[in-house]
Structure 1
Amino acid sequence: MSTLKRPDPYLGKVITAFEGGIVTRVIDHPYDSSRVFAYEVTFHLRHPRVVAVAAQKPPLHFHPYQEEYVEVLEGRLAVEVEGVEHVLGPSDSEFMLKPWCNHRLYSPVTDVREQAKKHNDGWDGEKTVFLLSGQDTDEMFRLDTVFFENWYAYQDRIVVNGDKINLIQVMSMFDAGGSYLSLPTWIPFSRTIARGLGIVVGRWIGGLLGYQPFLGEWTTDWDLACRKMEMTIFHKRFANREGTKRDKVRASYAA
Structure 2
Amino acid sequence: MTGDPYLGRVIIAFEGGITTRVITHPSHPNRAFAYDVTFLLQHPRVVAVASQKPPLHFHPHQEEYLQVLEGSLAVEVEGKERILVPEDGEVTFPPWTNHRLYSPVTKDTDENLKTTRFLLSAESTPELFKLDTVFFENWYAYQDQIVVKGEKVDLIQVMSMFDAGGSYLSLPRWIPFSKTLAYALGVVVGRWLGGILGYQPFYRKWTTDWQSACYKMEMSIFQRRFADRTKTK
- Choose which of 30, 36, 41 in structure 1 pairs with 2:32: 36
Q: Quick one: distance in 2 between partners of 1:200 and 1:62?
A: 17
CA contact (8 A) 2:47 2:105 kept: no
Residues 69-84 of structure 1: pairs in structure 2 closer than 5 A: 69-84=65-80
Q: Quick one: distance in 2 between partners of 1:189 and 1:74?
A: 38
Q: Deviations over 1:116-148 (max 9, x none)?
A: xxxxxxx93101000000000000000000000
SS of equivalent to 1:229: helix
Amino acid at match of 2:217: M
- Could you list the runs of 4 or more consecutive aligned residues of structure 1 that deviate by over 4 angstroms after TM superposition? 110-113
Q: Which residue does 1:249 correspond to in 2?
A: none
Q: How far 1:91 sits from its partner (Å)?
A: 1.0
1:51 corresponds to 2:47: yes
Q: Which residue does 2:17 correspond to in 1?
A: 21
Amino acid at match of 2:65: Y
RMSD between aligned residues: 1.4
SS of equivalent to 1:149: helix
SS of equivalent to 2:131: coil
1:235 corresponds to 2:223: yes
Q: Which residue does 2:94 correspond to in 1?
A: 98
For normalisation by structure 2, the TM-score amounts to: 0.94
Q: How far 1:112 sits from its partner (Å)?
A: 6.0
Higher strand fraction: Structure 1 or Structure 2? 2
SS of equivalent to 2:31: coil
Residues 1-255 of structure 1: pairs in structure 2 closer than 5 A: 12-28=8-24, 30-109=26-105, 124-244=112-232, 246=233
Structure 1 gap ranges (5+)? 1-10, 114-122, 247-255
Q: How far 1:109 sits from its partner (Å)?
A: 3.8
Structure 2 gap ranges (5+)? 1-6
Q: Quick one: distance in 2 between partners of 1:72 and 1:243?
A: 38
CA contact (8 A) 1:29 1:35 kept: no
Q: Quick one: distance in 1 between partners of 2:25 and 2:164?
A: 23
Q: Deviations over 1:134-173 (max 9, x none)?
A: 0000000000000000000000000000000000000000
Amino acid at match of 1:227: Y
Answer with 1 or 2: which has the greater Rg. Answer: 1
